[in-house]
Chains A and B, each alone.
Chain A
Amino acid sequence: MRQLVIEYVLEGHRRGYDFTSPTAGFADEVLRTVWRSAMPRGQGWNAPVYAGARALKSFLVGDFAAVSQVTVTDQRDDSGRGGIRRAVVDVMTFSEYTAYLEERLRAYPADVQAALERLPTLAQRARIMNRAMKQSKQLVLAQAYDSPRAWQVVEGLVIKLALSPFPPVPRSGRIVPFTTLALDHRDESALVALPAARARQLKGAPVVYL
């Protein structure tokens, strides 16, 4: 497994978002794909409610899988703009990928794991399957966003659905690409979770409220 980091650089000539970890050994195409795919979409991360928010995003990188862990930082740029994010991207083989996500599920606090054991509920499963039957290429899950800690349940549920033998969206190659927290569903993973307040603004999107 190899790691790449994208951060907002505040000093020097190349200020702004950039790779801050060594990129030697990665093919240009891999770097381009990681660059394009690592960050969850949407504007509005500078809202106080998203301070410290975390999103996991999985995607294909050629013959590998990648999982980007994105955190909303408290950084401000030289114009005072907030909502700056940091992405730590793990690039791995497909066999490592499943073990990696299962390990993440096991690493949640006990109360989150207990909640996840009961999820998805029968009602949620019915709503998700109902949407899946419509053969939409994307499934948007929505729940009220309260805090990073509370959102871990949604994050875990998305991972469970992505690892399910019968996922609610088509696989892309050998994985189900997912994003556990985005502010816009466009240009996003096949399986994506949005705060309900954002989802309510969408027109015609395949939203399932949890």
Chain B
Amino acid sequence: MSSILDTLITVILGTITAVGRTVTEGVAAIQDFFYVKVSGVSFIVLGARQTGKTTLIEWLRHNAGSIEGFEPEPTAAGGEVVDDFSAQLGDGYLKLKPHRDVGGEYAMWETDWVELFRTAQPNGIIFLIDHTDVHLQKDALNFVMQMIEDEPQSARHLKAFYILVNKSDLWGADTTLDQILQNYRNEQKRLRALAARLGFKWSVYEGSLMTGKGVKHAMRQFFDAIRPRSRLAS
């Protein structure tokens, strides 16, 4: 008798679990559709000056294609509004929501970066570095990590923090990603701890926005990590 009861309870619980899973998956799929097709996936692009923030946004806007002839000017105080746009990064189009293009100078950090972070409350942050001016770029990276710690309300949707070491076409012949990252050992430790504490993914990629090498893969991983329902994981 008790084994029949056990079986019955198992069947009922199993059915409830299965129905629950189906409902959860359905809700996740609807949520994913809403963000990816209607609302837009919210992210921000930060990094010290001349690391390629404006160029990355333009590259995404050009559907991850060639941006030959694009000559950005230094982004002025206050930054520039960037409308939502769709880009194909993988099996379909994603609606992307970068909010604003901001400059990378010291003077922008306390003003434009913090304001952008507060306004966007992003799902993801792409942080650009390159092979130059290590001290400035370490300062910028530490500033962003401190900003995440100081602004928990703005960081509450954060699902991924990806560092893109840009301009590999310029440094690839002389050095390696590992050698560049040697300069950022403490920052990587700090980011690892922060990511574990706040529950977001972090990763480092190399690439070149000018040649496109490596960037498409990095961006595909990044946007997959911040959309509600991961495609690459499934």
A residues with CB within 8 A of B: 6, 8, 13-19, 32, 35-39, 41-46, 77-79, 81-85, 87, 184, 186-187
Contacts and interface: CB of A to CB of B under 8 A. Distances in A.
Given A35-B77, A36-B115, 4 more contacts: A13-B106, A35-B107, A39-B76, A184-B80
Nearest to A18: B107
Nearest to B82: A186
Contacts of A18: 105-107
A32 B111 contact: yes
A94 B54 CA distance: 37
Interface size class of B (residues with CB under 8 A): 20 to 34
A77 B77 contact: no
Contact of A37 (B71, B78, B83, B112): B78
B103 interface: yes
B40 interface: no
Nearest to A40: B76
A8 B50 CA distance: 13
B165 interface: no
Nearest to A34: B77
B207 to A, nearest CB: 18
Given A41-B80, A41-B81, A42-B80, A77 B107 contact: no
Contacts of A79: 50
B91 interface: no
Nearest to B78: A36
B78 A184 contact: no
B74 A17 contact: yes
B74 A81 contact: yes
A73 to B, nearest CB: 11
Contacts of B73: 43-46, 81-84
B72 interface: yes
Contacts of B115: 36
Interface in B89-128: 103-108, 111-112, 115
Contact of A15 (B49, B71, B108): B49
